Amino acid sequence: MSKRERDVDAVFQALADPTRRAVMRMLSDGPRTATEIAERLPVSRQAVSKHLVALDEAGLVRGERAGREVRYRLTPRPMAGALSWMTEVGAEWDERLERLRRHLRR
Amino acid sequence: MVASQCTGQRWKPQLLSCASNPIGEVGEVIGEGRVTREVLLPARRPEVWAALTQPDQLAEWLGGEVQFDARPRGRLAVRGGAGADRQGRVIAVNQPYRLVIEWWEGSAEEPPPVTRVEFVLQEEGGGTRLTVSEWPLEQTACTEALG
């Protein structure tokens, strides 16, 4: 796998989880700490922290120390790579299926 | 564009629901992780099945030189077409209804497989509706691992 594919794969893995998608939604309103996120989701603070680590590894959030806590903010740029992968794969299938249709029409 | 083409299991938004949140929407599309295309083909299902499984017919629409053994664990090799060379193998075969393969770019025999492709064939009005989905393979395993 190329670096790009690994990066894209990390984003897919990170966003495959509904709780992590909910965390992303919440952070799109502004930076929050793990405690603040946990208050608004039906999961524990420890679980939120684990999900934040997964999102951080995919490059989707970044933590900044704020006093005794870490405040996380969204860094959504890697999502573009995943979307462009989906667009490219879709375009490839559009072309292949058009050739298949013509092949079967003969 | 991609979003409207995606089908399959959707996340039920019981945690947070905010339809006008673009990050949330893009997250849903990527989280779905599946690229899906549907096409109504002018041929009976056995003919479409043959076009998906016989190497000489695959070469016609995949391009290049194709070797394919459409049996469980059978190998796929695509070389010299318009796109990248590919290797793959059969995961599931249920003639003439459903075929699942995994494939990856390059010529290596056993790299980490990158994506899985599912073909589903349904009879429709004298023709065949073919649904193709492609998705990154590691997704499910990772979700299970991280809970």
**Can you tell me the mean pLDDT for A9-25?**
93
Query: CA B19, B24, B25: angle at the middle one, nearest 5?
Result: 65
Output the pLDDT for position B12.
39
3-state SS class at B65: strand
pLDDT at B70 exceeding the cut of 70: yes
Q: Which two tokens stand for residue A45?
A: 């603070």
Q: Which two tokens stand for residue A4?
A: 């790009």
Distances (CA, A) of B1 to A84, B6, B26, B36, B134: 12, 9, 11, 11, 16
Cα separation, B58 vs B36, in Å, equals: 20
pLDDT band at B114 (very low <50, low <70, confident <90, very high): confident
Output the pLDDT for position B108.
76
Domains delineated in chain B: 2-15+50-146 (3.30.530.20)
b (16+ CB within 10 A) / e for B58-84: bbbbbbbebebebeeeeebbbeebeee
- Is residue A59 within 8 Å of A15, Cβ to Cβ? no
Output the pLDDT for position B31.
87
Q: Which residues of A touch B15 (CB under 8 A)?
A: 18-19, 22, 41-42
In eight-state DSSP terms, residue B113 is P
pLDDT band at B107 (very low <50, low <70, confident <90, very high): confident
**Chain B nearest-CA residue for A19:** B15
Q: How many CB atoms lie within 10 A of CB B125?
A: 7
Pairing of strands B115-124, B98-105: antiparallel
Average pLDDT, chain B: 81
Output the pLDDT for position B20.
61
**Can you tell me the mean pLDDT for A91-98?**
96
**Residue that is written with structure tokens 């929050």 in the block:** A32
Q: Which two tokens stand for residue B3?
A: 């979003």
Give Cα A51 distance to the centre of its chain: 11
- Is residue B100 within 8 Å of B90, Cβ to Cβ? yes
**Can you tell me the mean pLDDT for B54-62?**
96
pLDDT at B58 exceeding the cut of 60: yes
Task: Write the residue in B18, B29, B57 that is nearest to A103 by C-beta.
Answer: B57
Q: How many CB atoms lie within 10 A of CB B1?
A: 10
Q: Which residues of A touch B83 (CB under 8 A)?
A: 92
pLDDT band at A25 (very low <50, low <70, confident <90, very high): very high
pLDDT at A13 exceeding the cut of 80: yes
- The verdict on a CB contact (< 8 Å) between A54 and B146 is yes
Cα separation, A28 vs A5, in Å, equals: 25
Distances (CA, A) of B39 to A84, A93, B92, B123: 22, 10, 21, 12
State how far residue A67 is from chain B, nearest Cα, in angstroms: 28
pLDDT at B136 exceeding the cut of 90: no
